[in-house]
Chain A
């Protein structure tokens, strides 16, 4: 008895199968990306630890410095009234906003969101809520980020998931 199994496949069929597999990989990746976006993230257990941002002399009045706080992009501003720090991830769609000294605003380039550099409040544009403020302390000639001023507010912003 002949148990030999013969599998015949044309080159064209093989090509179609391979391209189909690439298509499936692409579709699976797209689905995974959407699921990741929708899936809630766990909170950061080591959140709100003290972070040295910069020496006071490195951030003269009217300038800013970017830094990371609890894995989120943040910005330290030296305003005439003193130091201010905010999470710089825009509350609209998660783009990174930055200090724009010529207009005296924190600006999100994606959809032209504008925030008050003193309070983080929305001045104009589509962002639905203010940038979260970070409590800072000046000691030993340096500026330190201590914790979110309002952790509950940070938890309510999807783009800050895991940061508080």
Chain B
């Protein structure tokens, strides 16, 4: 799916949009948690620990999780909250 245009129209209604909204809230909390642990790890680690392979892999994994969660939020936002006629997509 390639989103070409999003206009600022009215929101979708119905149970599916409510589920999407609830999921967005949960995923946003997860994103905040991942971001917090990422920041804490970066700030509290000594350079000698932070240059180890294990540490860099852990940071990479957290960044990948964060990217996935943010992608899911954007997908739910576009497909779950916006009315279809305000989103133009190219298949």
Which A residues lie at the B interface, using CB under 8 A? 10-12, 15, 18-19, 21-22, 25-26, 28-30, 32-33, 36, 71-73, 89, 93-96, 110, 159
Contacts and interface: CB of A to CB of B under 8 A. Distances in A.
A94 B51 contact: yes
Interface residues of B, number: 25
Main secondary structure of the interface of B (DSSP, over half): helix
Given A94-B47, A95-B51, A96-B52, A12 B35 contact: no
Interface in B1-49: 11, 17, 21, 24-25, 28, 31-32, 35-36, 38-39, 42-43, 46-48
Interface of B: 11, 17, 21, 24-25, 28, 31-32, 35-36, 38-39, 42-43, 46-48, 50-52, 70, 73, 77, 81-82
A94 B39 CA distance: 19
17 contacts: A10-B11, A11-B11, A11-B81, A12-B81, A15-B73, A19-B31, A25-B39, A26-B35, A28-B39, A29-B35, A29-B36, A29-B43, A32-B43, A33-B39, A89-B47, A96-B51, A110-B51
B33 to A, nearest CB: 10
